[in-house]
Structure 1
Amino acid sequence: MKKVSAVLLTFGLVVSLSSGLSAEAKTSVAKVKTYKNCTEMHKDYKGGVSRAKNVRNKGGKTRYKPHVSKALYDANKKSDRDKDLIACEQ
């Protein structure tokens, strides 16, 4: 009887934790901001937004280092004209 109750308690904890994590993941996705153009993005991120930290700029030397955020880049992918995985680099 003790083993059955321990298994049920463990199962209940796993289910409650997994549902809490998925709610947090949905909340963090909803907070990603989409910018109308690069001028707006440069107010918050002077160097633009990079999809990954190992991405290199195709256009040459830039003045500022880009902020790294996969979710933010994906939301503003339209602003990456040269398709080098850095949106609005400067």
Structure 2
Amino acid sequence: MKKVVSIALSLGLVCSAGYIAEAKSAAKTYKNCTELNKDYKGGVAESSSAKNKGGKTKYKPYVSKELYTANKKMDRDNDKIACEK
């Protein structure tokens, strides 16, 4: 009986760990820059080494490769920063 319970608990932990990792990796996709800038005023950068090509900005971008990749279509000047302000 103890063996069955321990196997069931182990299986439950393995399944829940996979679910948590999957939920964490799903980045939100925004429909436009106005929506993205409500959550991230400075936009989203792919990495901390990304340099803005569009001129002076007010805010520093949030760095997240997953979030940038999900919203890459909004990086008009292809400088690895989406919706910079």
Mapped pair 1:66 → 2:61? yes
Structure 1 residue 60, shift from structure 2 partner: 1.7
RMSD: 1.9
* Distance in 1 separating the partners of 2:40 and 2:80: 15
Q: CA 1:60–1:18 in structure 2 vs 1: closer, same or farther (change >3 Å)?
A: farther
TM-score, structure 1 normalization: 0.72
What is the CA-CA distance between 1:29 and the residue it aligns to? 1.5
Q: Distance in 2 between matches of 1:47 and 1:25?
A: 27
* Superposed counterparts of 1:5-84, under 5 Å: 22-30=18-26, 32-84=27-79
Identical amino acids, percent of aligned pairs: 60
Which of the residues 81, 84, 87 maps onto 2:82?
87
For residue 70 of structure 2, what is the amino acid of its counterpart?
A
The structure with the largest alpha-carbon Rg is 1
The 3-state SS of whatever aligns with 2:28 is: coil
> Following the alignment from structure 2 to structure 1, what is the Cα–Cα distance between the partners of residues 45 and 14?
30
Q: TM-score, normalised by structure 2?
A: 0.76
Structure 1 regions of 5+ residues with no counterpart? 1-16
Q: Distance in 2 between matches of 1:53 and 1:83?
A: 15
Counterpart amino acid of 1:88?
C
